[in-house]
Amino acid sequence: MTVDHLANALLVLVGLVNAVPGLIGSLSVERAATAYGIAVDSPDLAVVLRHRGVLLLIVGLGLIVAPWWPEIRTAAIAAGVISMASYVAIALAKPGLGRPLRKVMWVDVGALALVAVAVVLLAAG
State the chain's mean pLDDT as an integer. 95
Q: Which CA distances in Å does 101 have to 29, 35, 61, 94, 105?
A: 16, 8, 22, 11, 6
Are the beta carbons of 84 and 67 closer than 8 angstroms?
no
Model confidence pLDDT, tens digit, residues 60-75: 999 999 999 999 999 9
19 pLDDT band (50/70/90 cuts)?
very high
Tell me, what amino acid is at 93?
A
pLDDT band at residue 125 under the 50/70/90 scheme: confident
The pLDDT of residue 1 is: 72
Tell me the whole-structure pTM to 2 decimals: 0.93
